[in-house]
Structure 1
Amino acid sequence: MLGIGIIAWIIIGGLAGWIASKIMKTDAQQGILLNIVVGVIGGVIGGFLLKVFGVDVEGAGWIFSFITCLVGACILLAIVKAVTGRRTRV
């Protein structure tokens, strides 16, 4: 059962990281592995922030988990862009 949870984290994290990179316009700089890492770390960030605000994230479902990962990944990419000073061309 643990293996299914890890695979789900990778799939949801990868999708969330990829969509977040499209939203934040960093997709050209990232590959699939970095998208997965950004999405999984984004899930941790999003889950932490929701717990801080008193939202129960346990057992909320796949869609809620995906949205949590997506928002957290966008926050992570915004922080990375601010720290590295990278600007995207439109």
Structure 2
Amino acid sequence: MGWLAAIIVGGIAGWLAEQFMKSNMGLLANILLGIVGAILFNFIFGTLLGLYAAGASFSFGYLIVGFIGACILIWLARMVRR
């Protein structure tokens, strides 16, 4: 996935995770959460289950993986803060 597409998909995935998890973050945090979440979740799924979200520059698979990964990262951040 290209850098621009990763930023766009990461931003959308991070924003969706922010809305779903009811947390308040800015645009940069949304983009970072979406991209890092996608990388993390893709690594976990690829290593453990052999599943990868491959596709074109804008892939629905990457959006789902980024959303789930960002939700996990938000959850982990909340657990560390407590």
Q: TM-score, normalised to structure 1's length? A: 0.81
Partner residue in 1 for 2:49: 53
Given that 2:54 and 2:61 are in contact with CA atoms closer than 8 Å, whether structure 1 keeps it comes out as no
Q: When the two structures are aligned, how many residues end up with a matched partner?
A: 80
Partner residue in 2 for 1:44: 39
Shift of 1:15: 0.4
What is the rounded CA distance, in whole Å, between the counterparts of 1:5 and 1:57 in structure 2?
A: 14
Partner residue in 2 for 1:19: 16
Partner residue in 2 for 1:88: none
For the aligned residues, what is the CA RMSD? 1.7
> Which residue identity is paired with 1:55?
L
The Cα offsets for residues 31-75 of structure 1, whole Å up to 9 and x where unpaired, read as 101110111111111101210211133337700110010000001
Partner residue in 1 for 2:26: 31
Given that 2:55 and 2:61 are in contact with CA atoms closer than 8 Å, whether structure 1 keeps it comes out as no
Give structure 1 stretches of 5+ with no counterpart: 86-90
Instruction: Decide whether aligned partners of structure 1 residues 84 and 18 sit closer, same or farther in structure 2, where only a CA change above 3 A counts.
Output: same
SS of residue in 2 equivalent to 1:80: helix
Moved >4 Å (runs of 4+): none
What is the rounded CA distance, in whole Å, between the counterparts of 2:52 and 2:5 in structure 1?
A: 20
The percent identity for this pair of structures is 36
Give structure 2 stretches of 5+ with no counterpart: none
